[in-house]
Amino acid sequence: MCEFLVAQASRLSVSKMQTSPLQKLTGETPVPLRLERDFLGELPVPAAALHGVHTARARENFPLACRPVHPGLARAYGTVKLACARTNRALGAWANEPAKADAIERACGELSAGKLLEHIVVDALQGGAGTSTNMNVNEVLANRALEILAATSPGVATACRHFRPANPAPELLVGSSRGDEAQSSAGVLPAGSGTVPVPGARTGGETPPEPAAEDGCATVEAEARADDRISPLDDLNLHQSTNDTYPTALRLAAIRGLQTLEQNVVALQESFQAAEKKFAAIVKVGRTQLQDAVLTTLGREMGAYAEAINRDRWRIYKCEERLRVVNLGGTAIGTGLAAPRAYIFQVVEQLRELTGIGFARAENLVDATQNADVFVEVSGLLKAHAVSLLKICTDLRWLASGPEAGLGELRLPARQAGSSLMPGKVNPVIPEAVSQAAMLVLGHDATIATACAAGNLELNPFLPLVAHCLLESLDLLARADDILRRHCVDGLEADEARCRRQVENSTAAATALVPAFGYERASEAARLARQNGATIRETVMSLGWLTGGEFDVLISPEAVCRLGTPGTNPNGIESFSPESASRRACFGISSPRGINPNGIESISPGLASPRAYPGVTGPSGINPEGVVSNQSADGPGPATPEART
């Protein structure tokens, strides 16, 4: 794309079929061009393009990211434009031109539905606070509305379909009110001013020229009516500014991204909860600072991951509220200049009806126009989720390391061969890939903070960078959650035998002896085991301190999962017997989570689960069977956007 943009910057003189130097080198077919003019001069535009001169200048000026604006932003812009058009129509705009109003609304609806995304071509990174994106949208919608008007209104001249094979009907018009794009303060040029007709191009209010015989396309010869002309500025941008439509579209796109992300976060949380139950009875060595510490269960580790993801889900749900306050109607700097009061009060209502999202007009439109701190806040919450993913993926890589010479407690699903040299090697590619996505989100967060801090006076000119980073972070996290769940967590397997061997061989098992006969004797058992190359189990049995059965009770899932050390005497030493220890472990627990007689952790809302936040049952309610549901008393409620109000 960048090569094309650079080649286009040469501003070739226009003929019916002009070949650029790049096309001469590559042998590509010449592209038909038309000439458009604004107050800066003339510029060639591809004849079949729906965009106009402003978009063409932006493509020349900003070959930076070499990718167009985010499709979610383009679709959201279509929705915002539709809300603006409906509000203007309700207030009397186009009262004598109902067909024109219908065409504008239909064009906006098509962009909102994603049908015109290929025509939003300006670079994601651009100067002008998003003006190029706004004008790209305005030009495309104006031209598309003209096509619709030509197809639905008799007597409107149509042009050759040859250059737009994707059009749904042969009578659709190719072209627009070309040349309208100059700012009104500089004098709007009349439709078709300064254009050079080419086959297949309609120029504003002109009657199209007779096509060449070889085109084989029929033309309706009729004078264009006054309402044939649809202006990107006077119609599509009526009572609007980039400075209120762009941030509003960004907020809408971000909310939709958050809703998708939340669904994937919920699915990942539930996957870890399933692993928590699956591995509840597998005792393993717990480690601090990468050194053997105390015993735990693999289920407990999975439960901790589920808890971290659950907090992220709550944050994501709550941060949507910050984005619902918009400055639509504030126009240039939040004062509502050039917009009727009725429009300012009604346009957000229209947006709310169209989206089903509870948007509200900012109480201080000037503040909402110049300050972008809300995006920093949202990005910070996304960063928190990225941090959780990075930590979890690092743990999964450690737990699956080896497998023979590492920890090897977990087996990750094998996704692909790991080496072009080392046979049989399988790498933890999914956690590695998700880690990279998380790292990129951390970088985007720093960029967003810098861009939002760099605003000047009444406007922040760096919102295109904020939009690029924020929406990409949402995409990255949603995809990362999805592949981590489907390609990794859902298929996790435990090496129970290896976990058991490590428990018996590790000095971490000595900690489990402390409740039985105190720290000093447990330390002596650990020293002797290391000195003699024996296991803790073998050592305490040889010393006659415990039987094998008693040792097994101390390292059982019930024992290692209980909260605290119940039943200790005044000296801090637990009165021990295998029966009482087992009984306490199974039934005498004052813990956020109960453990049933089978050693399987139960998750009950009646036990004040850590998943419950103050005053609510938690962002994901947990039913008596321990299964997460997506509803709670005051929590986020249904995860699907369709269920929201």
Q: How confident is the model at residue 178 (pLDDT cuts 50, 70, 90)?
A: very low
Q: Are 184 and 237 in contact (CB under 8 A)?
A: no
| pLDDT for residue 267 is more than 90 | yes
Q: Which fold has domain 2-228?
A: Fumarase C; Chain B, domain 1 (1.10.275)
Whole-structure pTM value: 0.75
Q: Are 110 and 76 in contact (CB under 8 A)?
A: no
Provide the pLDDT for residue 26. 63
| pLDDT for residue 481 is more than 70 | yes
The predicted-structure confidence for 215-255, as pLDDT tens digits, reads as follows 333 333 333 343 458 999 999 999 999 999 999 999 999 99
Q: Token pair for residue 336?
A: 């509502």
Cα separation, 307 vs 255, whole angstroms: 24
Residues comprising the chain, all counted: 645
Cα separation, 475 vs 247, whole angstroms: 19
Provide the pLDDT for residue 567. 53
Q: How far is CA 280 from CA 274, 283, 295, 595, in A?
A: 10, 8, 13, 10
| pLDDT for residue 584 is more than 50 | no
Provide the pLDDT for residue 17. 53
Q: Are 482 and 474 in contact (CB under 8 A)?
A: no
Q: Respond yes or no: is residue 420 known to be catalytic.
A: no
The predicted-structure confidence for 325-374, as pLDDT tens digits, reads as follows 999 999 999 999 999 999 999 999 999 999 999 999 999 999 999 999 99
Residue with tokens 């904020």: 466
User: Can you give the residue ranges of every domain in the chain?
Assistant: 2-228, 242-497, 507-602
Average pLDDT value for residue range 138-167: 68
Lowest mean pLDDT among 224-228, 390-394, 479-483: 224-228
Provide the pLDDT for residue 550. 85
Q: Is 591 exposed, middle or buried (CB count within 10 Å of its CB: 0-12, 13-18, 19+)?
A: middle
Cα separation, 216 vs 206, whole angstroms: 21
Most confident range (mean pLDDT) of 223-232, 282-291, 587-596 is: 282-291
Cα separation, 383 vs 342, whole angstroms: 40
Provide the pLDDT for residue 109. 97
List, in order, residues 6 or more apart from 593 with CB less than 8 Å away: 303, 601, 602, 603, 604, 607, 609
Out of 1.20.200.10, 2.40.50.100, 3.40.140.10, 3.60.21.10, the CATH code matching 242-497 is: 1.20.200.10
Q: How confident is the model at residue 145 (pLDDT cuts 50, 70, 90)?
A: very high
The predicted-structure confidence for 30-48, as pLDDT tens digits, reads as follows 788 989 888 899 999 998 8
Cα separation, 117 vs 164, whole angstroms: 15
Question: What integer best gives the mean pLDDT of the chain?
Answer: 78
* Catalytic position from the list 10, 419, 575, 629: 419
Q: Which fold has domain 507-602?
A: Ribonucleotide Reductase Protein R1; domain 1 (1.10.40)
Nearest alpha-carbon partner for 270 in 309, 298, 296, 300 = 309
